[in-house]
Amino acid sequence: MGFHSQSAGLREEELEERFIRAGGPGGQNVNKVATCVWLRHRPTGLEVKVQRERTQAANRLLARRLLAEKLQAARRAHAAEERRRLEKLRRQKRKRPRRLQERILAAKRLHSLKKQSRRRPAADE
C-alpha cells in the first residue's frame, strides 16, 4: 500500500476495524461481500465508515486516510484552542499603564458613590 498510517500518528494496535456489507450500487458484489469498512481510533474514539469503492482493500485504504485526516484536524483544533487560552491568559495578566489604572479606579469610585446615593437612609438617621 502507498499509504503509511504510522506517519499520520495511527498505530495498528490502536485501531478497531470491522467489515460490513455495503449498500447502494455495486450489484451482486456489494450484496454478497463485506466491502464496507468501519474503523475506530480507540484512544480518541474517532470513527469512520467507508463504502465508496467496490473492493474491501480500497475501502480500507480510504478509511485509514480519512481517519488520519480527522485525527490531524482534531489535533490542530486542540492546539489552536490551547494557543487561544494562553493568549487570553497573557492578555489578562498584562500590566495596565498607570494613567489607565487611575482612570478605571476613578470610574469605580464614581459608580460606588452613585450607588450609595440610591440606598435607603438608615433607620438611625
Q: What is the mean pLDDT of residues 33-38?
A: 88
pLDDT by residue (tens digit) across 41-88?
999 899 999 988 888 899 999 999 999 999 999 999 999 999 999 999
In a domain, 124, yes or no: no
Answer whether residue 117 shows pLDDT above 60.
Answer: yes
CATH code for the domain in which residue 83 is found: 3.30.160.20
Can you tell me the mean pLDDT for 87-110? 95
The pTM of the full predicted model, rounded to 2 decimals, is 0.66
Q: Considering only CA atoms, which of 46, 27, 45, 44 is closest in space to residue 35?
A: 27
Calculate the CA 16 to chain-centre distance: 21
Answer whether residue 22 is part of any domain: yes
